[in-house]
Amino acid sequence: MAYLGYDSYNQNDYMLEVRDYDNFLRSELNTDWATTIFVVDSSYDLANDNVTPGLFSNWVSAYTSIAGFRIVLTRDNDGWEFDHFGEVLMHEIGHLFGSPEEELAGGICEVSSDCLRTWGYLNVPNQNCKYAACAHPDDDCIMHAPRWDASGNYNTVCYYTQGHVGWHDSDADGVPDPRDTEPTLTINCYPSSPSPSYVLTYDATMMDIPWSTTNPNYIDVTINTVYVEYRIGSTDSWRRTIVGDGAWNSPYEEDFKIVIFQNGTFTSTCERSMKLDTCPEF
């Protein structure tokens, strides 16, 4: 992390440096999330058949934290080897977004009560755990120990894992629950009516209300962006307003303006707020 320019914490707090680096990447690349993957070059041990106890590549293939922000892999990934690097990485990304192990190990999938333990932002049970008492212990899933079929593929994401990483769609409208939110528009001050200006300025706040999580290990969060549109007359097309800071690019925005280019007298009857691909009207 020091090589990357992130060494402001002491050695025991390197995870904070990784977090700060991830946040830099997220901001720099304008993405919702970012993570850092460390790949340990274990090719020397593999090539020399080095089985000395304690060497990294002999006792672990990969790991990350549940809902963490970094992944550690080895080049050969223990018994999965480099040809199946992708499957191991997919498994670890599942952990990164809140999905637990589904093998009979690790204190997560060992007894019947583990089937009912809930995980992820949507707080979904681990019923695909391979413990016999679980609802679907034999369903294929990338969160079982990574393996592959005769074609070299093993990338099934089971129903419960989909829930752990936030892909459940409870109302079947095609939008995953964490994104299926409704914004709220509050206009604190309208322009005068009638207005002598062709620029109408609104003192307002527009924000997306996150899908509330019931998992105490998470906080409510949304990655949706919001904006406000208007139209003049029922046959006019919807037009986006001009936001106060110049860009509709976040879940929370303040103030907007409407520029009128048409002659005539108009009465404001409604405003429409937009976020992603849904259009609730107010």
By the 8 A CB rule, do 56 and 42 touch?
yes
Which pLDDT belongs to residue 191? 85
| CA count, 13 A, side-chain hemisphere, 15 | 8
Average pLDDT, consecutive stretches of 10 residues, N- to C-terminus, the chain (282 residues): 86 86 94 91 63 50 84 80 83 92 83 93 94 88 71 75 96 95 90 83 94 95 92 80 92 91 61 42 32
Backbone Cα Rg of the chain: 25
Which pLDDT belongs to residue 41? 80
Which pLDDT belongs to residue 42? 74
Residue type for position 11: Q
Which pLDDT belongs to residue 107? 79
Element (H, E) at 136: none
Which pLDDT belongs to residue 282? 30
By the 8 A CB rule, do 69 and 98 touch?
no
**Cis ω for the linkage preceding 194 (within 30 of 0):** yes
pTM of the model: 0.81
* Distance, CA of 282 to CA of 271 (rounded, Å): 6
